[in-house]
Structure 1
Amino acid sequence: MAPPPARDTESPQRTYGNWRRGVGAGLFGLGPVATLVMFAIALLTVLMLAVSIIAALVTALLGLCILGPLAFRFNGRTGLQAIAARIAWWRGRSRRQHVYLSGVASRATGSHQLPGILARSEVYEVETGRAGRIGVVVVPQSRHYTVTLRCSPEGIDLVDQSAVDARVAHLAGWLAALCREPGLVQAAVTVETTPDPGHLLAAEVHGNMADDAPDLARQVLGEVVRHYPAGAATVETLVSLTYTVPPGRRGLSHEDMCREVAARLPHLHSGLSAAGAGGVHPVSPRSLAAAVRAAYDPAVAHDLSGDHSLDVTWENAGPVAARESWDSYRHDSGFSRTWGMVEAPRGVTFSNTFSRLTDPDPELMRKRVSLIYRPYSPAESARLVEADKRDARFNATKKARPTARDLVDLGSAEQAAQEEAAGAGVVRFTLLVTATVASADELEQADRIIASRAAEARLSLRPMYGAQAATFAAGLPAGVVLPVHASVPF
């Protein structure tokens, strides 16, 4: 008698999604601001009819010239925002703000401070006892305090899907906890990959080889050092947490605020470890300066990682020279281009959807992928999801036949409101990808590589035109919160 067929006891793979971009209620596809402008123009045109028809026509034409840039949208930005960004770029270029020189070639002789947004930043050392001395980056103009944690991710190779799902659930819980963290304004998860020619492996092997090691062991390790680095790569994962001074405590000094930020780290470690981050350790001031210096000058990255006796400080972590272009950024020995997320993947995704985007690419000197979260407080979350639900319902019911996208958006808004009422957190998020190459001719190849990786991740990316220097700095472990420093409204 044949045995009965085996049942498929495997549970279906989990899917993730329901992220949505909030769209305000408006008429004819316009946002709330453009709708108000349209009503104001219509009212003013009617009033001008009492004067003369010509005055009413002139008012209507002028109103259309104002309404047009607000109604036109391209890659998530209105025409008015695009025009304002171009004007701001021309203005900065005319003032030579796109060129940076330091050291003996500049007025600040002997110093290589960081350019742009980070020019006034400082690093304070805080003694934590168990974790040693850690570095806290202070941006005084925005009063932001950033501490960075170095993680050792365990990866998902040969890991059961149930364990991967548990890690994602722990990460969701960790993000929800950030919404209740006092003074937290931003959390950034950065994965940076660098092809390794073998310097790190050779230094590790020779530094740990015993003097009386057998000749056979020495020969085998020598063969490993010579052949293995051909496909090796260095992957570094950093989590940066940026705080600001809580309301009612504006009198705190930088030193007091840095100590308070450092005191909040222990209870955040366990959440990251459960999410698959492995060993989590705060980054020291020297490591912070070395990471930033290597980003601006990729040619010295291997020397900084292999020789810890090199004197690297935050005050000298900047480039010798940098020049920002409309679509790229040149800094010391590297040429970089930064892309920003326009739209998150539609529909559902899986736990490994973004893995190819963070995998090493041997054609690039460095690749940095930064996932930036800005959590809402519980009170803001409740107000936001209810407002989104009302706006989505208005957009779906104002038409006799709502589109499928309107109905899906309404369902997503209602689901988000239900999940928030059940205790889930609400966060804004975006993604920045920075690719660094050795010459300007290789930027086109980097563009093709990133476009291919973005397609595999179902992401829509575009170069951050006119803001290459600022977005390059935003991907570093320095706590740059872009909306705070933006001169063009987003």
Structure 2
Amino acid sequence: MSSTVEQDKFGNWLQPASPGLFGLSLGALVVSGVGLMLVLLSVLRGAFGLGAVMLAITATVVVLGLIKFGGFTVMERVTNRASLRGRHKRGETFYVTGALSTLPREHSHRLPGALMNVDTLSGVDGLGREYTLLHHKSVKQITAVFGCTPDGAAMQEQATINNQVSHFGAWISSLSVEAALSGATIVVDSASESSAGVCQAAREDVAPNAPAFAKQVLDEAVGTLPARTSVLNVYASLVWDAPALGATAGDLSPAVAEIAARLPSHSQMLASAGAGAPRPLVEKDLAEVAQLAYQPWRDQELALDSLTGMGMVRSWDQAGPEFFDDSQGRVVFHDGVASMTLMMTVPPESQITARSFDRLFGPNPKFLRKRVAIMYRPIDPGTAARTVNRLVRTADWKISTSRGRPTSFDKKVKAVAEKTEEELSQGARLSMFSLMVTVTFEANETAHRDAVNQVKSLMSQLLMPYRFVEHAGSAAFHTTLPFGVLPWKYSNKPLWLEGVM
């Protein structure tokens, strides 16, 4: 019966945009219009030289600062490179911990970048589970991280998968109406790890009084296992605005108590969405996630230490890398390995199903480790209505100002915008999302070339336009960790300006 159930399809994404003309954005049109008016006034007054200067300035500002080529304006590319050179001169691109660190002694082993100024807050939620929250002091936010154990879709009926996807959509929708919630991320961390831990666990699980023949058979069976096994870890992070929950500079307890009360409901919703038995991560778990991100080659050692009880429990303050170097631009180096990050620029151009991202999410032998981070930015109902209304007007404008007949693409954009507007009026919610992928590989040319080719292959089959992060490798690397770094909280650009520029 399950074979007759079709996979649910998703698509028709909307991208914030503003009315434009001749391929120019609204911002470029405004600057061009003002500049041309000044040129005409100068010509009417007989100041032809001034008019020529104004025309040159207007053209320069529009071409260099407002027209994007490959996702960036010329000015953005120049400033990004200048910023990287400036950081390199100031020594900010090379981070060292331990005895050689230039940081204060109490911070000498901390995580770098935006995670340096993050503290932990521990407690027990309403279900009696221990948790550890991350307090991002620089942006006054608090993050809770859930470790999820999804069953996967390979052995489930399609009807069950469709039901889980529906519940996941309900969870995303609930984010838009939850007070003080700033955003959420789903991080899929995959690796082709050593099977030593699994083998050791299987051998130690044998009863002491088991027959010798049974022990021999089990030992030989374990010996036939492959040297490496696929590992998939999923994390769900939720980020709240601390002051909005009643926190003050000297007292975070009101916000912590409110978040602790909300954790059980989020666990239940995530479980209904196919996340298995989500549990809040504690400080030890968070430190281990960071340690494996920086040192993926220690997976076998950590697995065996955990089984034998010899594992060294690291605190959050001791979870940083030995060194982290992002002076090269796209590729960053940390603790003997290398990583690079790419980001989605436009949502998938085709419809997707629950299986479309299987290859991207799954382990890959070309990478030591791979993290796919999907970030959700909930939009309150009022802002969502204004955003969609603007998109409908923009679609109408493009159709009415197009030379010749409107294209099928223009008609589709208008239809999607109108459909979204109708769904919002019926109680649907709007969330913005983005996707980033960080891959870690051995620090040599062959591994780098293989990693680039493989990640391009993974992205191309999704028909998803993307670009590599070229000048902020450290920020991108730490954004894909499940620790609640929301990029838009570190930017001063308001939401309404996204489409204008």
Give, in whole Å, the separation in 1 of the partners of 2:317 and 2:7: 49
Give, in whole Å, the separation in 2 of the partners of 1:34 and 1:62: 13
Do residues 249 (structure 1) and 246 (structure 2) align?
yes
What is the Cα deviation at residue 11 of structure 1? 5.1
Indicate the residue corresponding to 2:175 in structure 1. 178
Give, in whole Å, the separation in 1 of the partners of 2:380 and 2:408: 32
Indicate the residue corresponding to 1:3 in structure 2. none
Percent identity, aligned pairs only, is: 26
Give, in whole Å, the separation in 2 of the partners of 1:348 and 1:283: 34
Indicate the residue corresponding to 1:103 in structure 2. 98
Alignment deviations for residues 155-212 of structure 1 (CA, whole Å, 9 cap, x no partner): 1113222221111111111100111111111111111112122122023213322111
Do residues 266 (structure 1) and 264 (structure 2) align?
yes
Give, in whole Å, the separation in 1 of the partners of 2:413 and 2:185: 27
Range 154-163 or range 213-222, more displaced: 213-222
Where does 1:97-176 land on structure 2 (aligned, <5 Å)? Answer: 97-108=92-103, 109=105, 111-128=108-125, 130-176=127-173
Give, in whole Å, the separation in 2 of the partners of 1:448 and 1:211: 50
Equivalent position to 1:203, from 192, 200, 203: 200
Indicate the residue corresponding to 2:274 in structure 1. 276
Indicate the residue corresponding to 1:19 in structure 2. 13
Distance of aligned partners of 1:330 and 1:371 in 2 relative to their CA distance in 1, 3 Å threshold: same
Secondary structure of 1:238's aligned partner: strand
Indicate the residue corresponding to 1:434 in structure 2. 438
What is the Cα deviation at residue 236 of structure 1? 0.6
Distance of aligned partners of 1:131 and 1:432 in 2 relative to their CA distance in 1, 3 Å threshold: farther
What is the Cα deviation at residue 225 of structure 1? 2.4
What is the Cα deviation at residue 9 of structure 1? 9.4
Instruction: Report if the CA contact (8 A) 1:152-1:237 is conserved.
Output: yes
Do residues 416 (structure 1) and 416 (structure 2) align?
no
Give, in whole Å, the separation in 2 of the partners of 1:45 and 1:346: 42
Give the aligned residue type for 1:126.
Answer: G
Instruction: Report if the CA contact (8 A) 2:296-2:368 is conserved.
Output: yes
Alignment deviations for residues 383-416 of structure 1 (CA, whole Å, 9 cap, x no partner): 2111111112112211242233222211111111
Secondary structure of 1:233's aligned partner: strand
Indicate the residue corresponding to 2:465 in structure 1. 460
Give, in whole Å, the separation in 1 of the partners of 2:427 and 2:200: 49
What is the Cα deviation at residue 38 of structure 1? 1.0
Alignment deviations for residues 203-261 of structure 1 (CA, whole Å, 9 cap, x no partner): 32133221112223322322232222335211111101111135483537234322321
Do residues 36 (structure 1) and 30 (structure 2) align?
yes
Give the aligned residue type for 2:95.
Answer: Y
Range 66-75 or range 356-365, more displaced: 66-75
Give, in whole Å, the separation in 2 of the partners of 1:173 and 1:390: 28
Secondary structure of 1:264's aligned partner: helix
Give the aligned residue type for 2:9.
Answer: T
Indicate the residue corresponding to 1:234 in structure 2. 231
Indicate the residue corresponding to 1:447 in structure 2. 452
Distance of aligned partners of 1:365 and 1:59 in 2 relative to their CA distance in 1, 3 Å threshold: same
Secondary structure of 2:255's aligned partner: helix
Give, in whole Å, the separation in 2 of the partners of 1:231 and 1:344: 34
Do residues 386 (structure 1) and 389 (structure 2) align?
yes
Secondary structure of 2:159's aligned partner: helix
Give the aligned residue type for 1:376.
Answer: I
Alignment deviations for residues 310-337 of structure 1 (CA, whole Å, 9 cap, x no partner): 1211111001111002111101132101
Alignment deviations for residues 435-483 of structure 1 (CA, whole Å, 9 cap, x no partner): 1112132112111111111122222222111111001101112111112
Indicate the residue corresponding to 2:324 in structure 1. 322
Give the aligned residue type for 2:463.
Answer: R
Do residues 191 (structure 1) and 188 (structure 2) align?
yes
Give, in whole Å, the separation in 2 of the partners of 1:254 and 1:443: 44
What are the ranges of 5 or more consecutive residues in structure 2 without an aligned counterpart? none
Do residues 90 (structure 1) and 93 (structure 2) align?
no
Secondary structure of 1:136's aligned partner: strand
C-alpha root-mean-square deviation of aligned residues, in Å? Answer: 2.2
Indicate the residue corresponding to 1:425 in structure 2. 429
Secondary structure of 2:60's aligned partner: helix
What is the Cα deviation at residue 42 of structure 1? 1.1
Instruction: Report if the CA contact (8 A) 1:373-1:430 is conserved.
Output: yes
Instruction: Report if the CA contact (8 A) 1:196-1:233 is conserved.
Output: yes
Range 59-68 or range 14-23, more displaced: 14-23
What are the ranges of 5 or more consecutive residues in structure 1 without an aligned counterpart? 1-6
Instruction: Report if the CA contact (8 A) 2:144-2:238 is conserved.
Output: yes
Distance of aligned partners of 1:231 and 1:302 in 2 relative to their CA distance in 1, 3 Å threshold: closer
Alignment deviations for residues 122-173 of structure 1 (CA, whole Å, 9 cap, x no partner): 1111222534221101110001111111111111113222221111111111
Range 255-264 or range 17-26, more displaced: 255-264
Equivalent position to 1:296, from 294, 308, 314: 294
Alignment deviations for residues 90-118 of structure 1 (CA, whole Å, 9 cap, x no partner): 22222121111111001334731111111
Indicate the residue corresponding to 1:4 in structure 2. none
Secondary structure of 2:343's aligned partner: strand
Give, in whole Å, the separation in 1 of the partners of 2:8 and 2:148: 25
Secondary structure of 1:232's aligned partner: strand
What is the Cα deviation at residue 27 of structure 1? 1.9
Distance of aligned partners of 1:98 and 1:68 in 2 relative to their CA distance in 1, 3 Å threshold: same
**Count of residue correspondences:** 484
Give the aligned residue type for 1:319.
Answer: P
What is the Cα deviation at residue 35 of structure 1? 1.4
Instruction: Report if the CA contact (8 A) 1:148-1:283 is conserved.
Output: yes
Give, in whole Å, the separation in 1 of the partners of 2:185 and 2:128: 21
Give, in whole Å, the separation in 2 of the partners of 1:396 and 1:77: 26
TM-score, length-scaled by structure 2: 0.91
Distance of aligned partners of 1:131 and 1:206 in 2 relative to their CA distance in 1, 3 Å threshold: farther
Indicate the residue corresponding to 1:345 in structure 2. 348
What is the Cα deviation at residue 52 of structure 1? 1.3
Give, in whole Å, the separation in 2 of the partners of 1:70 and 1:393: 27
Instruction: Report if the CA contact (8 A) 2:374-2:435 is conserved.
Output: yes
Give, in whole Å, the separation in 2 of the partners of 1:8 and 1:259: 44
Secondary structure of 1:457's aligned partner: coil
Instruction: Report if the CA contact (8 A) 1:322-1:331 is conserved.
Output: yes
Distance of aligned partners of 1:281 and 1:413 in 2 relative to their CA distance in 1, 3 Å threshold: same
